[in-house]
């Protein structure tokens, strides 16, 4: 609309227009620059913001009312075994840990995940995700346990099916399973492969099963997810130099050498929570708002059109294992995220969940399909804010100088630290 108005202007009108924009922007940028040069202490408002980003403000692990086994230690122990078990795949070669590699921050360093086939999106980090309300880049699952059931039946990830997995549980994990979830159903007469997954080759066999048998098998399947979630939920980020810095600042202590930031790191933090507005979307102790944003990250070629949250929310609402499904342990009144989800609208088109920025340094490539090879590229992206190929980008160009980009990267480096988990959970289990 504005473009058309501009094109209809006479030349001198255009000059007046451009002059106005330039003058306005100039007035603004000079004030911005004057601001960023000084290295003042933090204002009360900034201190509140710093506090909100610190792990110390995270509070207790949020409950998952849809998974009554979430805080059961035996379930977490079983989930640990299952997370690393390659028998939970069509080929016997893929486990969750094939892509979510513990030594690599539970990621794989690839542009897109590779299981029994090539995936279409990048493997996401796992630590701290119990604090999230939506899972996957597009939020198509609304709990950790519902999420876990996605890859298991995804033809290019684990590639197996729930009937196969129920058999695996009966054969390999009967005692553990039954002590937590109660007796396994009889699988006599049930075919080796059956699942309600389109084009998997096993959907016809599934359709032939009696409804009760299908329900029994799906319940075992849901419980596999609940055990894995009980394991995953115990993996979180440990405090880093950033958290130490905030603690020292809030205690008004002069910066101790252990927690002190370099001038670059501090300037980067100031940009992050200030003029660069990163904190709009990367907020809270996990540095994500757990919502969905189109940030105009383009993709040259994609296996199938990816509309991001637009499609994700539809899948979440229809989810076979959602918070409101028959396999959920929730009570009426729970599941607010699902019940009050925005289900349509232009803002959802190609919108993705911002991943946590903790441990972001050293886990290249970045973005939902690994489009950006380095943090340099990421900062250049935020500096330029290219328009989105599909939908509308929420970003405004920041025009960051090389120095400012370096400062923000230096700050991101202060978010690097170890993970916390119960003993043994960060490595492969010793059984099997």
Under the binding rule (CB under 8 A), the answer on residue 1 touching another protein is no
Select the residue interacting with another protein from 82, 227, 279, 349 (CB under 8 A): 279
Q: Contacting another protein (CB under 8 A), which of 43, 60, 396, 430?
A: 396
Query: Does the footprint of another protein cover residue 289 (CB under 8 A)?
Result: yes
424 part of the interface to another protein, by CB under 8 A: no
Question: If contact means CB under 5 to 8 A according to the sort of partner, which of another protein, ligand HEC, none does residue 276 touch?
Answer: ligand HEC
Residues 303-322, one symbol each (x = binds another protein by CB under 8 A, - = not), give --------------------
70, 233 Cβ separation under 8 angstroms: yes
DSSP string, 61-81: PPP-TT-TTTT-HHHHHHHHH
Member of 61, 192, 253, 336 binding another protein (CB under 8 A): 336
CB of 429 to another protein, least distance (A): 34
How far apart are alpha carbons 54 and 279 in whole angstroms?
A: 13
- Smallest gap from Cβ 13 to another protein, in A, equals 4
Return the number of the residue (120 or 324) whose C-beta is nearest another protein: 324
Alpha helices by DSSP H, 58-161: 73-83, 96-99, 144-153
- Residue 309 Cβ vs ligand HEC, minimum distance, rounded to whole Å: 10
Give CA–CA dist 99/117, Å, rounded.
12
Q: Token pair of 1, please?
A: 């609309």
Question: Of the listed pieces 138-146, 178-186, 221-229, 285-293, which binds another protein according to CB under 8 A?
Answer: 285-293
Q: Which pairs with CB-CB distance under 8 Å and at least 24 residues apart come from 265-269?
A: 265/407, 265/410, 265/411, 265/413, 265/414, 266/39, 266/411, 267/36, 267/39, 267/404, 267/407, 267/411, 268/406, 268/407, 268/408, 268/409, 268/410, 268/411, 268/412, 269/50, 269/242, 269/411, 269/414
- Indicate which of ligand HEC, another protein, none lies near residue 151 (CB less than 5 to 8 Å, by partner kind): ligand HEC
Contact with another protein (CB under 8 A) among 30, 339, 401, 418: 339
What is the enclosing helix (H) or strand (E) of 382?
helix 375-384
Residues across the chain: 432
| Least Cβ distance, residue 181 to another protein (angstroms) | 29
- As measured in angstroms, the least distance from the Cβ of 394 to another protein is 7
Give the C-alpha distances (Å, rounded to integers) separating 94 from 103, 205, 310: 17, 24, 30
Instruction: Give which of ligand HEC, another protein, none residue 9 binds (C-beta under 5 to 8 Å, depending on kind).
Output: another protein
27 binds another protein (CB under 8 A): yes
CB 44 within 8 A of CB 50: no
d(C-alpha 200, C-alpha 259), whole Å? 53
289 or 329: CB nearest ligand HEC? 289
Return d(Cα 97, Cα 356) in angstroms, integer. Answer: 19
Residues binding ligand HEC (CB under 6 A) = 83, 94, 96, 98-100, 113-115, 119, 121-124, 126, 129, 132, 135-138, 144, 147-148, 151-152, 157-158, 228, 232, 276-278, 280-282, 293, 295, 297, 352, 354-355, 357, 360, 366-368, 378, 382, 394-395, 408
- One residue of 75, 82, 116, 281 binding another protein per CB under 8 A: 281
Beta strand residue intervals within 142-260, DSSP E = 236-237
Judged by the rule CB under 8 A, the positions of this chain that interact with another protein are 5, 9-10, 12-13, 16-28, 32, 49, 52, 133, 275, 279-281, 283-284, 289-291, 336-337, 339-343, 345, 347, 394, 396
């Amino acid at each position: 609309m504005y473009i058309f108005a501009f094109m209809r202007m006479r030349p001198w009108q255009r000059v007046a227009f451009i002059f106005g924009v330039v003058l306005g922007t100039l007035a603004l940028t000079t004030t911005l620059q004057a601001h960023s040069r000084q290295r003042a202490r933090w204002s009360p408002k900034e201190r509140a913001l710093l506090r909100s980003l610190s792990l110390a403000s995270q509070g207790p692990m949020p409950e998952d009312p849809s998974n009554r086994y979430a805080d059961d230690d035996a379930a977490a122990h079983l989930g640990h075994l299952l997370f690393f078990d390659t028998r939970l795949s069509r080929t016997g070669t893929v486990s969750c840990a094939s892509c979510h590699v513990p030594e690599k921050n539970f990621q794989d360093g690839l542009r897109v995940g590779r299981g029994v086939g090539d995936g279409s999106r990048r493997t996401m980090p796992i630590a701290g995700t119990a604090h999230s309300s939506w899972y996957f880049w597009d939020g198509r699952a609304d709990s950790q346990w519902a999420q876990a059931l996605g890859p298991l039946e995804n033809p290019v990830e684990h590639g197996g099916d729930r009937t196969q997995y129920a058999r695996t549980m009966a054969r390999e994990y009967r005692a553990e399973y039954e002590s937590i979830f109660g007796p396994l159903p009889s699988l006599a007469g049930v075919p080796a492969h059956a699942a309600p997954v389109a084009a998997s080759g096993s959907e016809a066999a599934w359709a032939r099963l009696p409804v009760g048998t299908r329900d029994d098998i799906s319940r075992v399947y849901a419980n596999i997810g609940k055990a894995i979630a009980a394991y995953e939920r115990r993996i979180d980020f440990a405090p880093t130099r950033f958290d130490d810095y905030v603690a020292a600042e809030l205690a008004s202590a002069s910066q101790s050498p252990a927690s002190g930031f370099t001038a670059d790191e501090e300037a980067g933090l100031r940009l992050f929570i200030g003029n660069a507005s990163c904190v709009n979307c990367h907020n809270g102790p996990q540095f994500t708002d757990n919502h969905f944003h189109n940030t105009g990250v383009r993709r040259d070629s994609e296996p199938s059109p990816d509309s991001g949250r637009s499609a994700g929310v539809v899948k979440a609402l229809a989810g076979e294992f959602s918070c409101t499904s028959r396999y959920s342990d929730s009570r009426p009144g729970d599941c607010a995220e699902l019940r009050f989800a925005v289900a349509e609208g232009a803002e959802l088109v190609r919108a993705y969940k911002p991943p946590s920025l903790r441990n972001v340094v050293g886990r290249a490539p970045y973005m939902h399909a690994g489009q950006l090879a380095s943090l340099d590229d990421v900062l250049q992206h935020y500096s330029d804010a290219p328009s989105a190929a599909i939908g509308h980008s929420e970003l405004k160009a920041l025009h960051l100088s090389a120095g400012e980009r370096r400062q923000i990267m230096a700050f991101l480096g202060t978010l690097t630290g170890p993970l916390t988990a119960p003993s043994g959970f960060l490595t492969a289990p010793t059984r099997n």
